[in-house]
Amino acid sequence: MKIWIDGRFLEKSDAKVSVFDHGLLYGDGVFEGIRAYGGRVFQLKEHVKRLYDSAKAVLLEIPFPAEEMTRVICEAVRVNELRDAYIRVVVTRGTGDLGLDMRKCKVPTVIVIADKIQLYPKEVYERGLRVIVSHLRRIAPDTLSPSIKSLNYLNNILARAEASRADCDEALLLNREGMVAECSGDNIFYIRDLKVFTPPVHVGILEGITRNVAMRLAKEKLGLEMHEQVFSVPELYRADEVFVTGTGAEIIGVVLLNGRVIGDGKPGPLTTSLIRAFREYTKTAEAGAAVYEAVKV
């Protein structure tokens, strides 16, 4: 595997950063996780835009324009001879000293990794996810905006650890007011009476790119009403179907929440149809940039 770091591709064993890099010392940086399907980088323009938006929000200047980042991402997939891939783009504050002063970090570190990923085995998609409600609260927007994909993921990691200790697959976090926010690594939806509901961004969630695609497909391909509104956990208990979306997970049904069976205990028919629509969409030219031909931004 070859990994792109600061302008060149290196073998995995040679891909290193300084122990004084503030991404390591303080989680000071931003990232994006991106998928490629059949040689197309999924929603590449949207992911790159979000990366640069996150960087701007934390006063981090990426040392080259979005067009160049687009080229590097595609090149990383090509160099590793991948068609289906998971791409991780990381931008740290760069090498500094042991203090917090970002002015000591003169040049950001930029890393692009193209590899494969499987968050859940095939049988989990067929069986559905088991989810708990974490005792942790999602970090409030007035503390650290969830629109920033920062390298500080401890809130998410500790919630996922809680799920693992309970022999579950995912953890749902509530916001400070006790309303449903998002899962540790996914956005959450429920379906009731042919209407789809998901929390609005202002409750304190990341505006997921797969989330936005799923919302559009639910409306255009399945003919379902789509609603962004605030709701509490009991609304999920009463749902006909519940599902989550994310770059790594894609779309997957939830069948158990805090010990309550959702629907009939299997991924629901509308969720299954949405998964099918999503997988078909990933094959289209509209879905993303082609890696093995000239890419236009």
73-108: pLDDT as tens digits: 999 999 999 999 999 999 999 999 999 999 999 999
- Give me the residue spans of the domains in the chain: 2-115, 122-281
Using an 8 Å Cβ cutoff, are 210 and 247 in contact? yes
Q: Mean pLDDT lowest for which of 33-37, 117-121, 269-273?
A: 117-121
Q: How far apart are CA 196 and CA 244, in angstroms?
A: 12
Alpha-helical runs (H) found in 31-190: 44-57, 66-79, 122-127, 154-165
The per-residue pLDDT for range 236-261, each reduced to its tens digit, is 999 999 999 999 999 999 999 999 99
Give residue for tokens 């590793």: 80
Query: What is the pLDDT at residue 148?
Result: 96
pTM of the model: 0.95
**How many residues are recorded in the chain?**
297
What's the pLDDT score for residue 120? 86
Indicate if the pLDDT at residue 25 is higher than 60. yes
Which are the contacts of 141, defined by CB distance < 8 A and separation ≥ 6? 202, 204
Residue corresponding to tokens 């503390």: 143
71 Cβ contact list (under 8 Å, min separation 6): 295
Alpha-helix residue ranges (DSSP H) falling in the chain:
22-26, 44-57, 66-79, 122-127, 154-165, 209-220, 233-237, 269-281
Give which of 20, 18, 21, 50 is closest to 34, Cα–Cα.
50
Which secondary-structure segment (H or E) carries 6? none
CATH 3.40.630.30 fits 2-115, yes or no: no
Whole-number Å distance between alpha carbons of 42 and 48? 11
The answer to whether domain 2-115 and domain 122-281 are alike in fold is: no
Is 104 an annotated catalytic residue?
no
CATH topology of domain 122-281: D-amino Acid Aminotransferase; Chain A, domain 2 (3.20.10)
Q: What is the pLDDT of residue 297?
A: 40
pLDDT tens digits, one per residue of 144-181:
999 999 999 999 999 999 999 999 999 999 999 999 99
pLDDT at 296 (0 to 100): 46
Catalytic residue among 49, 149, 283, 296: 149
pLDDT at residue 118, rounded to an integer: 83
Query: 198 φ, ψ to 5°?
Result: -150, 150
- Adjacent-strand bridge partners of 11: 2
CA atoms within 13 A on the CB side of 297: 15
Dump pLDDT digits (tens) for 55-75.
Answer: 999 999 999 999 999 999 999
